[in-house]
Amino acid sequence: MFKFHQMKHIFEILDKMRCLRKRSTVSFLGVLVIFLLFMNLYIEDSYVLEGDKQLIRETSTHQLNSERYVHTFKDLSNFSGAINVTYRYLAATPLQRKRYLTIGLSSVKRKKGNYLLETIKSIFEQSSYEELKEISVVVHLADFNSSWRDAMVQDITQKFAHHIIAGRLMVIHAPEEYYPILDGLKRNYNDPEDRVKFRSKQNVDYAFLLNFCANTSDYYVMLEDDVRCSKNFLTAIKKVIASLEGTYWVTLEFSKLGYIGKLYHSHDLPRLAHFLLMFYQEMPCDWLLTHFRGLLAQKNVIRFKPSLFQHMGYYSSYKGTENKLKDDDFEEESFDIPDNPPASLYTNMNVFENYEASKAYSSVDEYFWGKPPSTGDVFVIVFENPIIIKKIKVNTGTEDRQNDILHHGALDVGENVMPSKRRRQCSTYLRLGEFKNGNFEMSVNFCI
Ligand SMILES: *[C@@H]1O[C@H](CO)[C@@H](O)[C@H](O)[C@H]1NC(C)=O
Ligand SMILES: *[C@@H]1O[C@H](CO)[C@@H](O)[C@H](O)[C@H]1NC(C)=O
Ligand SMILES: *[C@@H]1O[C@H](CO)[C@@H](O)[C@H](O)[C@H]1NC(C)=O
Ligand SMILES: *[C@@H]1O[C@H](CO)[C@@H](O)[C@H](O)[C@H]1NC(C)=O
C-alpha cells in the first residue's frame, strides 16, 4: 500500500528588524536548517498560491446602445483612466496626503436595521493612533433618496467630526445621472426583477466608489456597511502585504463573506471599476470580483486566517430579508501573523504534488507536504538579507490529526553559505533546540 505523509510547517519569525544593513557589503547570509529524523504526515485540502505573473490584456469592443451609457462609458477605451464622475462631497476635508490603506464602504437605505454608524465606529475604535494616520475611510452614500442621505450625513458628522476634520473620513455621493439604466435589465439566473435591479445598482455603486478611491492610497480594502473589524487590523494587513513582497497577487481576502475584506492594489481600481460597470447587470458583485481576479491571472483564492472582518448585520440590505451569515474564522483580538523575511526555501525530501517547500513559509493558509523523510533529511531557509530574528516558530501537523507530526527533529542556525550547485551548506552551525510534540518555538534575539 502506498501511504503519503505530510508535514505542515508554519514558520513565524516575528518582529524582524533589519540589522546589519551597514555590514551588508560582507557576503554574509544566514541559514536555518531543520534536520529531520522521523515524521508522520497526512493529507489535507488547501489553497494553492501560484505566482503566475502573466497579465491578460483587455481587448474589449462592447457595443453600448443606450444614450445614458455614453455619459459614463465614453472613455472605456482606456481602462487605466478614471471614470469621469463629478462626485458630491457630503462630508469631507481635502485629502492632504496619500495614505497606506483606503477602506471603502457603500451604503443604501435599508428596510430594517442600519449598521453603518457602528461599522465606521468599529474601524476607528479598533485602530491605534499610529494606525489612524495611515488609513482613510470613504463612505459612498449610494441611495438616490436625498432625505435619507441628509439624515445619514448629519449622524455621521455628529459622531465622527474629528475624523472628518483630520481628513480620514470622507462621505461622497455619485449623482443618479451617472448611473446606467436600472430598469428592464436582463433576468440572468432567473432572479426576480427587483433583485436584478438591486444587485445591478450595487455593482455601479461599488464602481463609482472604487473609481473615487483610485488615488487616495497605495492599497484599498472593500467592506460592507455592516461589518465589525478586529483589533489592529491594519497592522495585520501590513504584515501580510510585506510577506507577499515580490509575489504576484490581485486580490487578498481577509474575510470569506460577500464583498467584505477584499484587498486590492490601488492601481488596479480604475480597471476594476470599469469592469464592474461593463458587466453590472450580469451577476452580483461577489461573482464579478472572482472573475476579475481570474482574468488578471491570479488562479487561486489567497485568503488569510483568522479573518479580520466580521459580518454583523442581521438583516440584508436587499429588502431587509434575514442574513445571518457569519465568518467562523473571524477573531476579534490577538492573532499572530508571521512576517517572514524574504528567503529561499529548499528541501531534499520528496515533495508531494505541488506542495512545495516555499508553501511552509508563506503567510497564506497553505503548507509544505513531503513524502516520508529519512534520517538526515533537511529543510533549509536561506535568508536573502542579514536580519535580527525575534521569534522562531515551526508547526507540524494540524488540529484534526494530532499525532501526525514531526516526531524527531532539530533546528540549527548556520552562517556563511558555501557556494555549491546541488545543496546549500554553511560553514558553521549552531543547534538551537529539538522539536517537541512536532513544534518548535523560541523567542530569541540574534542577528544572522
Ligand atoms: C489612460 O489613462 C491614464 C491615466 O489617466 C493615462 O496616463 C494614459 O495616458 C491614458 N492612455 C491613453 C491611451 O489615453
Ligand atoms: C468630464 O465631464 C465633464 C462634463 O460632465 C466635462 O466637462 C469634462 O471635460 C470631462 N472631463 C474629461 C477629462 O473628460
Ligand atoms: C426617503 O427617505 C425618507 C427617510 O428615510 C423617507 O421618509 C421617504 O419616504 C423616502 N422617500 C422616498 C421617495 O422613498
Ligand atoms: C485624485 O485624482 C483627482 C482627479 O484626477 C484629483 O482631483 C485629486 O486631487 C487626486 N487626489 C490625490 C490625493 O492625489
Distance 100 CA to ligand 3 centre (A): 37
> Whose CA is closest to atom 3 on ligand 4?
215
pLDDT band at 426 (very low <50, low <70, confident <90, very high): confident
Distance 151 CA to ligand 2 centre (A): 30
User: SS3 sequence, 46-64?
Assistant: CCCCCCCCCCCCCCCCCCC
315: DSSP letter: B
- Look at residue 438 in the predicted model and tell me its pLDDT: 86
Distance 94 CA to ligand 4 centre (A): 10
Assess whether the C-beta atom of 89 lies below 6 angstroms from ligand 4.
no
**Mean pLDDT across the chain:** 76
- Comparing 156-170, 216-230, 345-359, the range with the smallest average pLDDT is 345-359
pTM: 0.67
Instruction: For a ligand 1 pocket test, name from 76, 80, 84, 85 the mutation site with the most ligand atoms within 8 angstroms of its C-beta.
Output: 80
Residue 102, number of CB atoms within 10 A of its CB:
28
pLDDT over 70 at 46, yes or no: no
Closest ligand to C-alpha of residue 98 is 4
Q: How do 309-311 and 425-434 pair as beta strands? A: unpaired
Residue 210's φ and ψ, nearest 5 degrees, are -60, -40
- Name, of 26-30, 190-194, 249-253, 359-363, the range with top average pLDDT: 249-253
Q: How do 406-418 and 252-253 pair as beta strands? A: unpaired
Beta strands in 11-155 (DSSP E): 30-39, 88-91, 99-107, 135-141
Question: Which one is predicted more confidently, 426 or 153?
Answer: 153
Amino acid at residue number 337: I
pLDDT in tens, 236-275: 899 888 888 888 999 999 888 778 899 999 999 999 999 9
Q: What residues flank ligand 1, with Cβ below 6 Å?
A: 78, 80-81
- Look at residue 123 in the predicted model and tell me its pLDDT: 94
pLDDT in tens, 268-298: 999 999 999 988 888 888 889 989 998 988 8
Looking from the CA of residue 78, the nearest atom of ligand 1 is 1
**Mean pLDDT across 216-225:** 93
Question: For the chain, which domains are there?
Answer: 21-44+336-447 (no CATH), 67-311 (3.90.550.10)
Closest ligand to C-alpha of residue 79 is 1
Let me know: does 99 contact 136? Beta carbons within 8 Å.
yes
Query: Residue 102 CA to chain centroid, in angstroms?
Result: 13
What b-and-e string marks burial along 277-306, b requiring 16 or more CB atoms within 10 Å of the CB?
bbbbbbbbbeebbeebbeebebeebbbbbb
Question: Which one is predicted more confidently, 332 or 119?
Answer: 119
Share of the chain above pLDDT 70, in %: 73
Distance 152 CA to ligand 3 centre (A): 12
Question: Which one is predicted more confidently, 301 or 75?
Answer: 301
**Alpha-carbon distances, residue 311 vs 13, 24, 202, 251 (angstroms):** 31, 47, 18, 19
**Mean pLDDT across 311-327:** 61
Instruction: For a ligand 1 pocket test, name from 57, 75, 78, 84 the mutation site with the most ligand atoms within 8 angstroms of its C-beta.
Output: 78
Distance 109 CA to ligand 3 centre (A): 9
pLDDT over 90 at 148, yes or no: yes
Element (H, E) at 218: strand 217-222
Q: What's the distance, Cα to Cα, between the start and end of the chain in Å?
A: 44
Distance CA 12, CA 441 (A): 9
> Whose CA is closest to atom 13 on ligand 1?
78
213: DSSP letter: G
Assess whether the C-beta atom of 136 lies below 6 angstroms from ligand 4.
no
Assess whether the C-beta atom of 344 lies below 6 angstroms from ligand 4.
no
Distance CA 237, CA 254 (A): 8
User: SS3 sequence, 226-264?
Assistant: CEEECCCHHHHHHHHHHHCCCCCCCCEECCCCCCCCEEE
